[in-house]
A and B are shown apart, each in its own frame.
Chain A
């Protein structure tokens, strides 16, 4: 039988008190794409590795295509295609050599291979690249080649561990199309992901969190469950403050900013009267279509952090000063002939969240780096707190906090040592230093982790620690470079609760992101494209600019695509 059957399967690792996979029973059928969905550290990879026979279950029985991995590993591998998270292509080998290697390893009949080879190349659209070393392919092409290598030898079961990570949207769509075609031919396909848009498109879902299965079934059923529980509330004059208030209400499962409005998910449809009364909404609330993300967060227990303990320890800053916190004047940066940032102008008020968005390679990182003094400007000015960075960057730097994309923590030092080190680099000493470290440990609940190294922690914890390190000296401005890339939705929410709390206290935040829903959390957004700032406004206004008369509720993503298309049209 071509199916995967788990009966009370669990997996524990030595030295961890919680099992990576709690006893679970599941049946996964062939002929459709099953999504294994969950946040980082949910146990998805462990589960897939057990199915591939690379780990033995601690208890329970597991059958893949009628075979028990621990007993008949060789037979299992003869009909299994497994694509690990970072699929190991041999980067020195060409596309052709990689495929040939797998043909030999999987024992493909030599007379049939040329035809199969041709089919795989057509399927993955790699004909033009057969002589290119795999290391020189783009991320999307690597993933397609990885899939092709996994498909060599026509496996009956295909296990794909987060194949969509690091792949651009177009390639992701292609991978998706290929996998669906294979499923239609009767293959069993298990696709693990922490991306919700991918999850939503699967035929079947297995939703996991902390080693447990929370839901199994079709994605629509999960969303259907949310009917009548999703509401859009007017944000008033201070939406951010209002959001904090809403999150405190016991009937609210989750709430996020959407422009100047608040999107709230309730525990039960009947709770709306309650909430309406408590917040005196007077019928201004609007019921909206549930999204898959709403259902996902709700299944995982709703927003986990509802108020920022971090904000409590930060001093309240007054924002009455007239000089802008950040100001770019005709900011330009060239690399040889190439102009990465081209006469960019913007101002960021104190206590504002300013988002810099744009496709990869558009120049947003270059602009961002000049603004926090990491990259010298070619011409124009980058002023922070009214001081030109070129003239006196050292003086300003003390008042800035910076959190890099890769978190820049010391992987081999313990959490406590990292905190101590960074507090030292910001010039904190003695009693003040000890006190700040104590506060950060308390605010981010780092107490149980102090002796561990960041390397051994899940991404979400690393992110908390990195934020703690960047804020140790209580900066007036915080620079965040793609702070949430690779982080699951639950952790991202927690992160933004802290950012909101900080802004409430008067800290100015400048952030780059490629998550469109995160753009909604910003007060204003600058859209960077071809090195130029092609749009600069509030999220609602930006949407307004490109909304046609017949439409309402345009998504941020759609708005960006239209803004870029509009620019291309004018400048072509």
Chain B
């Protein structure tokens, strides 16, 4: 029986693969351009904080109460009020997407208030952007509470509140959405890079007819697969370091965990995503199909089902179950932990274990599908 690895052949195959990487600019492009592009799109393009919201206020009557209320909105750092006497112009602006919502202070607002009746305040938000609408609702409520407190203070009423809620956001105290989006983005970038880089390599050998010549030599299955993994590790890790440098250096995302641990886990994840690419490549034997399949099989699930933006906990049970098959899910979890929380060993260990399992599945299936024969 032949031994699975002869070092000389393995080194020769790896060297050959490295020459191809160095001379064919497309692999280098994938390793540099994709991370830059995606990181900037995700990092600056997606922003879940709303910033300052332009809010229309319809003051149907003018008196001290309404003025104080408008003042309260104006004082809020999140709201830029645009005041009008009646609805029509503001509704138009809302339709033109120039303001994000409307607050209507009815004519009898002040009267009702003075009669200690319930004074209704209508808030209209734009349901087509639920995220902003929700922010708006909270901001309006906040401003309204401030106004109420001030009013009671002026009137000398001291109402004892039974419960005082003090909010603290851990790991991301300022609740900057970039801080949790970027580690997620990195795992998507690495999924795409790992899968696309390797999805092309075996298909390319079949397309160019080199596979048939290689199969007629003594090269073993193990040597062949290793030669397709090792050089691309280097390229993949380069992309990873580029991402980490950009996000900590330029985007200011903190890295609270150990750098070494980050490297180790990234290697593990690369094995898994490159394994997926190799499997696709082996099955399709065609570069175009392989690239399309890699994009769909790697990119889409990584965005949708990794918990990168959409929380897995709030998905239907079936989808949650499916998300367990997506390696990016575990990597997202590890990266968020390492970047924002630090070395939380239990979380990292359990996720690494899952990563290891997916890597084994992909590489194992590839080895199973890699035949020493043509048919």
Contacts and interface: CB of A to CB of B under 8 A. Distances in A.
Interface string B218-244: 110000000000000000000000000
A93 B19 contact: yes
A89 interface: yes
B9 A53 contact: no
Interface in B178-230: 205, 208-219
A107 interface: yes
A74 B2 contact: yes
A56 B372 CA distance: 11
A58 B19 CA distance: 40
A53 to B, nearest CB: 7
A537 interface: no
Nearest to A56: B373
A89 B219 contact: no
Contact of A84 (B19, B213, B375): B213
A300 B363 CA distance: 49
Contact of A97 (B16, B24, B216, B372): B16
B322 interface: no
Interface string A47-88: 001001111100000000000000001100110101111111
Contact of A101 (B16, B23, B375): B16
Q: Select the residue from B212, B215, B217 with max chain A CB neighbours within 10 A.
A: B217
A82 B209 CA distance: 12
B24 A85 contact: no
Contacts of B205: 88
A91 B208 contact: yes
B12 interface: yes
Contacts of A82: 212-213, 216
A105 B374 contact: no
B16 A86 contact: no
B374 A87 contact: no
A92 B205 CA distance: 12
B11 interface: yes
B212 A104 contact: no
Nearest to A106: B217
B154 interface: no
Chain B binding surface, main DSSP class: helix
B97 to A, nearest CB: 44
Nearest to A69: B373
B375 A77 contact: no
A84 B209 contact: yes
Contacts of B8: 104, 107
Given A54-B373, A54-B374, A73-B372, A88 B214 contact: yes
Interface string B325-341: 00000000000000000
A83 B218 CA distance: 15
B374 A90 contact: no
A105 B12 CA distance: 7
A106 B216 contact: no
A55 B374 contact: yes
A56 B375 CA distance: 9
B353 interface: no
B261 interface: no
A77 B216 CA distance: 6
Interface string B9-28: 10111011001100110000
A201 interface: no
Given A92-B19, A101-B12, A74 B218 contact: yes
Contacts of B6: 107
A244 interface: no
A319 interface: no
A102 interface: yes
Interface string A291-317: 000000000000000000000000000
Given A54-B216, A104-B12, A105-B218, A88 B210 contact: yes
Interface string A90-120: 1111000100111011110000000000000
Nearest to B223: A105
A105 B217 contact: yes
Contacts of A86: 208-209
A190 B284 CA distance: 32
Nearest to A146: B213
B216 A105 contact: no
Nearest to B205: A88
Contact of B209 (A54, A88, A100, A101): A88
Contacts of B215: 54
A92 B22 CA distance: 9
Nearest to B375: A55
Interface centre among A49, A80, A104 (most CB of B within 10 A): A104
A27 B204 CA distance: 36
A411 to B, nearest CB: 12
B286 to A, nearest CB: 12
A82 B215 CA distance: 10
Nearest to B212: A84
Contacts of B210: 88-90
Contact of B218 (A49, A77, A92): A77
Contacts of A78: 218
A462 to B, nearest CB: 20
A150 to B, nearest CB: 8
A387 B216 CA distance: 58
Q: Which of A73, A83, A85 has the most CB of B within 10 A?
A: A73
Contacts of B372: 53, 73
Contact of B12 (A74, A80, A100): A100
A105 B214 CA distance: 9
30 contacts: A13-B375, A53-B373, A54-B373, A54-B374, A55-B375, A56-B375, A74-B2, A74-B218, A77-B218, A80-B216, A83-B213, A84-B212, A86-B208, A87-B213, A88-B205, A88-B213, A90-B16, A91-B208, A92-B19, A101-B13, A104-B8, A104-B9, A105-B214, A105-B218, A105-B219, A106-B218, A107-B6, A107-B218, A133-B23, A149-B213
Interface of B: 2, 6, 8-9, 11-13, 15-16, 19-20, 23-24, 205, 208-219, 372-375
Given A88-B210, A92-B20, 14 more contacts: A77-B217, A82-B212, A82-B213, A82-B216, A86-B208, A88-B211, A90-B19, A92-B19, A104-B11, A105-B9, A105-B214, A105-B217, A133-B23, A150-B213
Closest A-B pairs by Cβ, 8 of them: A88-B210, A104-B12, A82-B216, A88-B209, A86-B209, A84-B212, A92-B23, A74-B2
